[in-house]
Chains A and B, each alone.
Chain A
Amino acid sequence: MTTRLVLKKLIDAVVLLAMVLVFNFFLFRVVDHDPLAKYRGHSKLSQAQRTAIIKRFGLDGSKWEQFVRFVDRTLHGDFGRSFNSTRPVVSEILDRLPNTLLLVGISTVLTIAIGIRIGIRAGWQRGGRFDRISTPFSMALYGTPEFFLGMLFLAFLGAKLGWFPTGGVTNPAAHYTGFSAIVDRARHLVLPVATLTLGYLGSYSLVMRTSMLDTLREDYLTTARAKGLRDRDVMRRHAVPNALLPSVSLIAIGFGFIIGGAITTETVFSYPGLGLATYQAIGNTDLPMMQALFMFSSVAVIVFNIFADVVLTFLDPRIRVGA
């Protein structure tokens, strides 16, 4: 039963990924009648140069031929060359991927773990002291664009107080080795991670709090209390697991926003990852780069969502039997 459900989810994922592929193709070719118009210095090109470039970026032939070639190339990991650096887009992305994985990975884990805890506690003791402090705090965080938060961190903790470096991933002036190199890297991570974590903490804790409040109305919580369970056990065994379920998919959808947040956060801290690459691609109107980055983030979000769906299938017995 479970395998079949997981299989179904995987098929859904493949359909979504195929939709992304098609969408991507049309987005970049149909919307734009003259793809070269965005190529810097295009007006000075000779006809021969034009044809060469068009060929190089796969823009020749009928739309259908282009599409087939596009799919073929994409599946082989060939996204063309960056308009800007003329290096293969894939190498650009692979170079920067580790930095982003580190930043987004740590922040996602932190923001989900902390956000859920805050939400649980605030919801459980609605109107209590913790709730009265944490909920306005969460609201304020929710309302704060993460890049503004990053700017504040940079200005005060970075520039003014000098506690943390204000950008990059390492200190280029010093040539650290071994342990001090790790410390240096970690110091460069602190502010971006804090920014991205706090930037999305508010929405996660609010979502979890609401879910908790919904669960608290459930009759089975009265049953648990009537059985003589301690409050702590009522919460741990009955309220939390049930409140987590509906938030799983919201958390997964929220991952798409964290990806967006990584773009601005990396921009604020000149942190050389995919987010900064996105910012630079915007500045240079670097379409091949942009296309690959968009494709890449869509795939990441879809994979994350599928993962959440599968997790949910295992957590919620009602889904497992297909109810």
Chain B
Amino acid sequence: MVGLALMTLFVAMALLAPVFANRSELQAAAGRNNPNLHAPNGKFWLGTDEIGRNVFALVMWGARVSLYIGLLATVVAVVIGSVLGLIAGYARGWVSRVMLAIDDFFLVLPFIPLAIVLALLLGRSPTIMALVIGGTFWAGGSRLIRAQVLSLRERGYVERATALGASSRHIIMRHVLPGVAPLIIANASLIVPGAILAESTLAFLGLGDRFSPSWGKVLEGAQASGALTLNAWWYYLPPGLCIIGIVLAFTLVGNALERIFDPRLGDR
């Protein structure tokens, strides 16, 4: 419940960003006439950053970028994870073994260094970041889905359908997919927070897009500008707390979904 409320709040923030703050306020030039690193007041609700930009505007627009990347990355990860998981679970023999090896490989590769390398090589726009994160984040989900497909197989639906002469595609679409869909949804809502955290980490390390700053990017600015030693709390607290809030929101909702789809977990 708390999770849902928080989630609504952040989505509203992302949608309403343009109402409260003009996009141009994100430009470096926007703060030229404003005081730098100024404490919050009536005009700048959350103060200004080291080049005089309105932190409130940065945080509002940050919700957009963070959510966009988090959701898109999740879609990418879920699609890759589901397809590979379905194939790995459905296929037999060497196909299944190769898929499993690839899965293993991506599961153990240290995620942040890998994403850093990819982002470094491919570029830094939000969409590319989302692809990079999604493209490295699917292994756990694919593992889950494979396991579920295997257990569905054991229950014999698939064998029966095969015996009746159904095509593989038909079997996957009609029998397997419905069985794994709840799992995919619950899994997705748990990937979102991970993707948002990953994005903030990459942005913090300087891999974010300067022109559409996410919360992680704002934190990078705070760190680099010395806001920490200058005690400019209005600069680094709001984006940090937003990240915590959004991660908790999605995690809580994800846990709740998981519980709905798998009543066995009900008493967790």
Chain A residues within 8 Å of B, Cβ to Cβ = 15-16, 19-20, 23, 27-28, 31-32, 126, 139-140, 142-145, 147-148, 151-152, 154-155, 158-160, 166, 210, 213, 253, 256-257, 259-261, 263-264, 267-268, 278-279, 282-283, 285, 287, 290-291, 293-294, 297-298, 300-302, 305
With contacts A20-B109, A293-B113 known, what are 7 further pairs, Cβ within 8 A?
A19-B101, A27-B121, A143-B244, A143-B248, A145-B204, A148-B240, A290-B117
Residues of A within 8 A of B251 (CB): 139, 142-143
Residues of A within 8 A of B200 (CB): 145
Contact A19 B105, beta carbon cutoff 8 Å: yes
B112 on the interface (CB 8 Å rule)?
yes
The listed residue (A210, A264, A267, A282) touching B268 by CB distance below 8 A is: A210
In the complex, residue of chain B having the shortest beta-carbon distance to the beta carbon of A260 = B112
In the complex, residue of chain A having the shortest beta-carbon distance to the beta carbon of B115 = A260
Contact B243 A143, beta carbon cutoff 8 Å: yes
Tell which of A16, A126, A151, A259 has the most Cβ of chain B within 10 Å: A151
In the complex, residue of chain A having the shortest beta-carbon distance to the beta carbon of B228 = A155
Residues of B within 8 A of A27 (CB): 117-118, 121
Contact B229 A260, beta carbon cutoff 8 Å: no
Q: A264-B204, A282-B116, A301-B109 are in contact. Are A159 and B228 (CB under 8 A)?
A: yes
Contact B236 A285, beta carbon cutoff 8 Å: no
Q: How far is the CA of A312 from the CA of B240 in the complex (A)?
A: 38
B90 to chain A, nearest CB (A): 24
Q: How far is the CA of A32 from the CA of B243 in the complex (A)?
A: 33
B222 on the interface (CB 8 Å rule)?
yes
- Chain B interface secondary structure, helix, strand, loop or mixed? helix
B108 on the interface (CB 8 Å rule)?
yes
Enumerate B103-161 residues with CB–CB distance to A below 8 Å: 104-105, 107-114, 116-118, 120-122
Contact B111 A256, beta carbon cutoff 8 Å: yes
Enumerate B90-110 residues with CB–CB distance to A below 8 Å: 101, 104-105, 107-110
A-B contact pairs, 6 of them (CB 8 A): A16-B108, A27-B121, A154-B229, A155-B236, A294-B113, A302-B108
Residues of B within 8 A of A283 (CB): 206
Contact B113 A282, beta carbon cutoff 8 Å: no
Interface string of B57-69 (1 = CB under 8 A from A): 0000000000000
A17 to chain B, nearest CB (A): 10
Contact A160 B206, beta carbon cutoff 8 Å: no
Q: How far is the CA of A155 from the CA of B219 in the complex (A)?
A: 13
In the complex, residue of chain A having the shortest beta-carbon distance to the beta carbon of B243 = A145
The listed residue (B120, B197, B267) touching A285 by CB distance below 8 A is: B120
Residues of A within 8 A of B267 (CB): 126, 213
Q: How far is the CA of A259 from the CA of B243 in the complex (A)?
A: 21
Q: A143-B193, A151-B223, A155-B231 are in contact. Are A253 and B205 (CB under 8 A)?
A: no
Contact B206 A282, beta carbon cutoff 8 Å: yes
The listed residue (A143, A151, A294, A302) touching B117 by CB distance below 8 A is: A294
B34 to chain A, nearest CB (A): 23
B237 to chain A, nearest CB (A): 8
Q: A151-B222, A256-B110, A256-B111 are in contact. Are A142 and B247 (CB under 8 A)?
A: yes
Q: How far is the CA of A145 from the CA of B111 in the complex (A)?
A: 15
A200 to chain B, nearest CB (A): 12
Contact A256 B201, beta carbon cutoff 8 Å: no
